Structure 1
Amino acid sequence: MRIREALGPLFEDAAFAEAFPARGRPAISPGALALVSVLQYAEGLTDRQAADQVRARMDWKFLLGLELDDPGFDHSVLSTFRARLIGHGLEQKTLEGVLERLRELGLLKAGRRQRTDATHVLAAVRTLNRMEFVGETLRQRWKP
C-alpha cells in the first residue's frame, strides 16, 4: 500500500498502446498487468498464484486501484501480456519509466552503481513462462 501512496499509478495504459490492436481496447488494464508482473517477480509467484493474489489480497487490489469485489483475471493473461511486451520491445521502455518515476520522487539517486537493464528480469520471466507451460502440460495430461 505504501507503493501506491508514494508513487501513485506507476504504469499508464497509454505506454502499452502499441502492443495492442488499434480497434477496441484491452479487457484488462495493461498498466495493471505490468504492476502485477512486478509484484509477481518480487514475490516469486507463478502466473496462477499471482492471479489468485489479485483476487484474494486487499493490498494488491488497493495497489492496482481495483474495487474490493473485482473478480480478477485468468492467469493465462499474464503470459500473453509478457509476450506482447517483449514482442513490441516495451520491456526496456517500461523499466526506464519506473526508474524515471523513482528519480522524480528522489528515491533513486544518480551517480551510484545501479542496474538499469531488464536482462535479469526478462530471463526470470522466460524461465517462469517455461515452468508454467510444463506444469500446465503435466496437469492437463494426468487429469483424474
Structure 2
Amino acid sequence: MSLQPGDYQRIPARTVRTAWAACPKGTPAMLVRDRLDVLFEDEEFADLYPADGRPGFSPGQLALVSVLQFAEDLSDRAAAQAVRTRIDWKYALGLELVRGASNVLAVLGTTDRVAPAAGVCCASGG
C-alpha cells in the first residue's frame, strides 16, 4: 500500500452545520477538532509507506479513530459504528455526512468481524 495524503483540513459545510445544530455545546470529539485542528497529518506517516502500490487509507484518520475509540472505551465494532453513524465523529474526522459503511469498516480493519453483523455485503464492495 502506498500513501496518498488526503486533505481533511476543511470540514464539509453540511457536516459543520448539522453537527452544531445537533450538539450546540459540542462534544469532546468536536472540541478536539476545533481546538487542535487536524490532530494527525497523513504526511507524518509518509516514511511508513512505500512509494508505490495500491493507495492505503488515511493514516491520520485511522490514528484519530483510535484516539476517540480509546477515549470512549469502545470496542472495534462500536468504533466502526460511531464512524458510520455519529455526526460528531464525522465532524472530528472531516468526513461528509454520507459515507459508505463498507469504506468505514475497511478503514478500521474490522470488515470480517463486523460486516456480517452490520448487513454489509463485502464481496460486492458495498
Instruction: Kindly indicate whether residue 108 of structure 2 is the aligned counterpart of residue 78 of structure 1.
Output: yes
1:1-144 → structure 2 map (5 Å cutoff): 1-24=30-53, 25-26=55-56, 28-71=57-100, 72-74=103-105, 77-78=107-108
| Distance (whole Å) between structure 2 residues aligned to residue 19 and residue 68 of structure 1 | 30
Q: How many residues align?
A: 81
Corresponding residue for residue 100 of structure 1:
none
Give the drift of 1:47.
Answer: 1.2
Give the drift of 1:73.
Answer: 1.4
Deviations 1:1-27 (A, max 9, x none): 11111111110001111222211431x
The TM-score with structure 1 as length reference comes to 0.50
Structure 1 gap ranges (5+): 81-135, 140-144
Deviations 1:110-144 (A, max 9, x none): xxxxxxxxxxxxxxxxxxxxxxxxxx5xx9xxxxx
Amino acid at match of 1:54: V
Corresponding residue for residue 98 of structure 1:
none
Q: Let me know the Cα RMSD of the aligned residues.
A: 2.4
Give the drift of 1:79.
Answer: 5.5
Percent identity between matched residues is: 55
Amino acid at match of 1:31: G
Amino acid at match of 1:10: L
Structure 2 gap ranges (5+): 1-29, 117-126
| Distance (whole Å) between structure 1 residues aligned to residue 78 and residue 51 of structure 2 | 31
| Distance (whole Å) between structure 2 residues aligned to residue 21 and residue 2 of structure 1 | 34
Amino acid at match of 2:71: A
When Rg is computed on C-alpha atoms for both structures, the one with the higher figure is 1
More helix by share: 1
User: Hey, which bits of structure 1, 4+ residues long, moved more than 3 A?
Assistant: 77-80
